[in-house]
Amino acid sequence: MKFIVIKIGGSTLSDMHPSIINNIKHLRSNNIYPIIVHGGGPFINEALSNQQIEPHFVNGLRVTDKATMTITKHTLIADVNT
């Protein structure tokens, strides 16, 4: 068996283009098993905003302090992965 890991950003998930689905179907029809890893950035940002915490990024990468990590874990485990 062959596997491929595909990371799809959270913003992409909210507006999934049909070609992405078609490409995943094509992989599967060729006996390649896609493993989809999603991003949760938009969900994390919303949860932070609800707590009046401004997300902090450096060079496009999220900087996660202790409070942000707590909210991130809760958001990804309890909300996004359900």
Q: What is the pLDDT of residue 50?
A: 96
pLDDT at 41: 85
Whether 25 and 48 map to the same domain: the answer is no
Judge if 19 and 51 occupy the same domain. no
What pLDDT score was predicted for residue 59? 87
Do 63 and 32 lie in a common domain? Answer: no
Structural domains of the chain, count: 2
Is 0.75 topped by the overall pTM? no
User: Would you put residue 37 in left (φ > 0), alpha (ψ -120 to 50) or beta?
Assistant: beta
Q: Are residues 66 and 55 part of one domain?
A: yes
Q: How far is CA 80 from CA 10, 44, 65, in A?
A: 10, 9, 20
* Range of the structural domain that residue 45 is part of: 40-82
Per-residue pLDDT at 25: 94
pLDDT score of 15:
73
Shared domain for 49 and 27, answered yes or no, is: no
Low-confidence ranges of the chain (pLDDT < 50): none
